[in-house]
Amino acid sequence: MMSEGVRARLTVMRYTLAENGLHRLAFGLFALLMFATLFGPALAPHDPLATNPSEALIGPSAQYWFGTDQLGRDVFSRVLVATRLDMFIAFGAVLISCVIGSLIGAALGYFGGTLDRVASRFTDVLMAFPLFVLAMAMVAALGNTLMNVIYATAIINLPFYIRLARAEVGVRRNLGYVEAARVGGSGHFRILTVFLLPNIASPVIIQASVNLGWALLNAAGLSFLGMGVRPPTPEWGILVAEGARYIASGQWWMFLFPGLALMLAVFTFNLLGDALRDILDPRART
């Protein structure tokens, strides 16, 4: 049977979605992105890698909805197939940074002391550094492979979760239920994993939803500069970079549609963050 807490959360969710059209839009766009991620390669009308020079640089038409690129490849198919790769990069990077950063931040906020102060200053220094430049440096040093792009994106997002988890745990570590757990014989590890981390899940999830958009922009930016995923792999940043070369000659569709797909995805995750904030933390509802 469903617990009281789950029922209350579902009630808040239904109420929030009913009263706010933007929240419904956010979940609808997110469902569309997930559908394209799961089924995009199967639904693509053309092979995204197949070249056909005789049909190069054809504008949008009934046969090629988003036109063709300089090699005659269908832009719509490439944009659709690229969704899976970009979502994989974003979700992979955010998952890594969320889990590791939350654990580190929770431990620092719980134990405090000299290590907490040193780690906090290191995090402040890391956040003061241009994070995209740091990601570029890491990818340049490690090599522009898919996994290195994910690792670099995860590392530059770590400070957000460390600071968030540290602050949330620092507020809760001396509350009554934590003191009761100590008196009951619970060790530090159990207090962190059973009593503190689950109670900071809501703000961490909200932060993660916003970070998904940043991760997408970071991955696309690296690919745009030639430091991310390598051509001819369909990826939004690569498609925008390839299309940018043809702006002056009038082939606007080559960069416009990949750019719109990237913008829509980032917009979706920003809206989703607001919706999750209202659902998971009703006190912050605006």
DSSP letter string, 151-190: HHHHHHHHHHHHHHHHHHHHHHTTSHHHHHHHHTT--HHH
Q: Is the pLDDT of residue 233 over 80?
A: yes
The set of residues, in sequence order, having a beta carbon less than 8 Å from that of 271 and lying 6+ positions away, is: 22, 23, 25, 26, 29
DSSP letter string, 241-261: HHHHTTTTTT-THHHHHHHHH
> Do residues 239 and 61 make contact, with C-beta atoms less than 8 angstroms apart?
no
Res 285: pLDDT: 52
> Do residues 219 and 90 make contact, with C-beta atoms less than 8 angstroms apart?
yes
Res 282: pLDDT: 57
Q: Please give the span between the terminal C-alpha atoms of the chain, in angstroms, as a whole number.
A: 32
In the numeric block, the tokens 């933390």 are attached to 281
4-284 placed in CATH 3.40.50.300: no
CA-based torsion, 203, 9, 20, 285: positive or negative:
negative
Res 124: pLDDT: 83
Domain ranges across the chain? 4-284
Question: In 3D, which of 211, 240, 203, 252 has the Cα closest to residue 57?
Answer: 252
List Cα–Cα distances, 204 to 51, 90, 186, in angstroms: 44, 16, 24
> Do residues 217 and 262 make contact, with C-beta atoms less than 8 angstroms apart?
yes
Over residues 253-278, the pLDDT tens digits come to 999 999 999 999 999 999 998 888 87
In the numeric block, the tokens 């431990």 are attached to 107
Burial class (CB in 10 A: 0-12, 13-18, 19+), 222: buried
> Do residues 209 and 276 make contact, with C-beta atoms less than 8 angstroms apart?
yes
Q: From CA 93, how far away is CA 147, in angstroms rounded?
A: 9
Give the tokens for residue 271: 């809206």
3-state SS assignment for residue 74: strand
In 10 A of CB 78, how many CB atoms? 28
Res 1: pLDDT: 47
Q: Is the pLDDT of residue 186 over 90?
A: no
Res 116: pLDDT: 84
Over residues 67-113, the pLDDT tens digits come to 999 999 999 999 999 999 999 999 999 999 999 999 999 999 888 88
Over residues 38-52, the pLDDT tens digits come to 999 999 999 999 888
> Do residues 237 and 224 make contact, with C-beta atoms less than 8 angstroms apart?
yes
Q: From CA 283, how far away is CA 286, in angstroms rounded?
A: 9
The predicted model gives 154-179 an average pLDDT of 89
